[in-house]
Amino acid sequence: MQIYNSLTRSKQEFTPIHEGKVGIYSCGPTVYNYFHIGNARPFITFDVLRRQLEREGYEVTFVQNFTDIDDKMIRRANEEGITVQELADRFIKEYYIDAQALGIRKATVHPRATEHIPQIIRLVQRLVDNGHAYVGKNGDVYFRVSRFPGYGKLSGQRMEDREVGASERLDVETDKENPEDFVLWKAQKPGEPAWESPWGMGRPGWHVECSAMSMEYLGETFDIHCGGKDLLFPHHENEIAQSEGATGKPYVHYWMHNGFINVDNVKMSKSLGNFFTVRDISKVYDLEAVRMFMLSAHYRSPINFSKDQIASAATSLQRLYTARDQMVFLKKSAQDKPLTEEEKQLLERLKAYEKKFDDAMDDDLNTADAIGAIFEEVRDVNSTLSSASSLEVVEQSLKSFQGMCDVLGLVQRAPVDEDALPEDIQKMADERAQARKEKNWKRSDELRDAIRNAGYVIEDTAQGQKIRKNI
C-alpha cells in the first residue's frame, strides 16, 4: 500500500513496524455536542483504511479517543448545570448512535482523556525532568518549543513565520518564557474539574492527552496517525514535539490527513449558519448515502456537501443495492450444476475487478476509483447472470461484490425478506401484480407510487416483480 505521508509530503510504501500488525491512532471528537459533518469525513475515511488493511491480512489495533475535558466542555456543562462527566457520558453515547448510522465501526480502544490522567502526568513529568518543559509561576506547565529543533517539520511552519495567537487552540499566557510555548498542564481555576499533580491541582492540555493515550496503547513509536487537515497544526505538530521530546524516538511513521468539506461551495462555519451536525443531517438525508458521497472523492481532496451531491450519491448507492438484491434473488432458485465456459470466464473477470479495486485502495486509499471498479463488476454481472446461471457463479459474484462493498462500509443493510413484508405492502404488491396481468396500467402505476410513498420500491424483472426498501 502506498500512503501519502504528510510528514514527508510524498507517497510512500507502507511498511509496518511489526510484521503483520498495524497500529493506528485517529483523533476522535470532543464530546460536548453531536459531531458535525466535518468530523464525519475523517471518521469514515480512516474506518475504511482500517477495513482495507484487515482485508489485506493485517491485525489492526485502531485507537480513537474521546476528548472529555477541555474549555468547551466545562463551559457547556456549566451552562446546563451538570458535571463535565455527565456531559461527556451523554455525548459519547450519542456519538455511537451517529457513528453506527454512518457505518463506522467501533475502535479497538476508545480511550477517554480523564481515564488516563496518570499516564498524562508521567509524560509531562518526563518533559519537565529533561528540560523540554517548565512550570510557570501560576502552576501551568509549558513545553519549550525552542528546545525542540524539529518543531514545524510536519506543518512546514517555522517559528519565526508564525503569528502569535493565530490559532484558537494557542493561548497567549503572561508567564510563558516564549509566546510560542504551549500548555501541557493547566492549573485549576475556580469551579473547574481538577486532578492532583506534582504541580498542584489542575487538568491536562489538549495536545498532551493524545500523546499519552496513543503511546499507552500503541507504544512510543507506532505506524499511522490520522485526522482532519485542520489538526495538522498546531495539534499534531505539538504531539510530535512533546512525544519525541519525552522519548527521544520517532513518534509516528506515517501521518494521514483528509481534506476539508465545504457546504454549497462555502467553507463550513457556525457564523455562516452552514454548520451541521450529523444528527441534523440524518433528519433530511440517508446517512449511508452521506457515506457514499464522502467516499466518491479522494480523501485528501476538498469536497462540496450539497443536496444535489447527496442525491447523486443516493442514486449510485441504490444501483449497488439493486445489483446485490438481484444476485440474492437469483441465488434462491439457482441450480447446483457445472459451470459453463462463459461462467468460468466471468469468474476470471471477477478476480480482475477485485485486483482493480485493491490496486486503487493501495494507491493512497483511492476510494473513488475503487467504487468505479465495483460498478464495472456490477455492469458485467448484470449482463451475464440470469435465471439459468449456476449456483456457484451466482454465489461467487455475490461474494466478490459484497467483499469489496464491505471494505467501503456500503450495502450493509440486509435484503428485504419478501415473505416478511408488512401486510399492507404485500397486499398492494399482490394487487399490482394482478393489475399488470389484466393490463390495467393506470392502477398498476397508482399502486407502484403508493408502495414507493410507504418507503419501498417495486421493480419488474424477467423473473417477476421484486420489492426492496428504499434508500
Instruction: Look at residue 285 and tell me if it is in a domain.
Output: no
- Same domain assignment for residues 401 and 442: no
How many domains does the structure of the chain reveal? 3
Residue after which a domain boundary falls, among 382, 408, 434: 408
Residue after which a domain boundary falls, among 408, 438, 456: 408
What is the structure's pLDDT at 141?
Answer: 98
**pTM for the model:** 0.89
What is the structure's pLDDT at 268?
Answer: 78
Q: Which residues of the chain have a pLDDT value below 70?
A: 158-174, 417-420, 461-464, 471
Q: Tell me which DSSP letter residue 65 carries.
A: -
Instruction: Look at residue 299 and tell me if it is in a domain.
Output: no
Instruction: Look at residue 294 and tell me if it is in a domain.
Output: no
Residue for grid cell 514545524? 152
Instruction: Look at residue 107 and tell me if it is in a domain.
Output: yes
Q: What is the CATH number of the domain that holds 326?
A: 1.20.120.640
Instruction: Look at residue 287 and tell me if it is in a domain.
Output: no
Each residue of 260-277: b (16+ CB within 10 Å) or e? ebbbeeeebeeeeeeebb
* Residue span of the structural domain in which 102 resides: 2-258
Q: CB within 8 A of 14, min separation 6: which ones?
A: 1, 2, 3, 223, 254
- Same domain assignment for residues 7 and 80: yes
- Same domain assignment for residues 97 and 238: yes
What is the structure's pLDDT at 464?
Answer: 67
- Same domain assignment for residues 27 and 139: yes
- Same domain assignment for residues 54 and 76: yes
Instruction: Look at residue 215 and tell me if it is in a domain.
Output: yes
- Same domain assignment for residues 396 and 429: no
Q: Tell me which DSSP letter residue 389 carries.
A: S
- Same domain assignment for residues 207 and 146: yes
Phi, psi of 454 (to 5 degrees): -85, 0
- Same domain assignment for residues 431 and 375: no
Task: Return the axis-axis angle of helices 367-384 and 341-362, rounded to nearest 10°.
Answer: 170
CA-to-CA distance for 116 and 212, rounded, in angstroms? 8
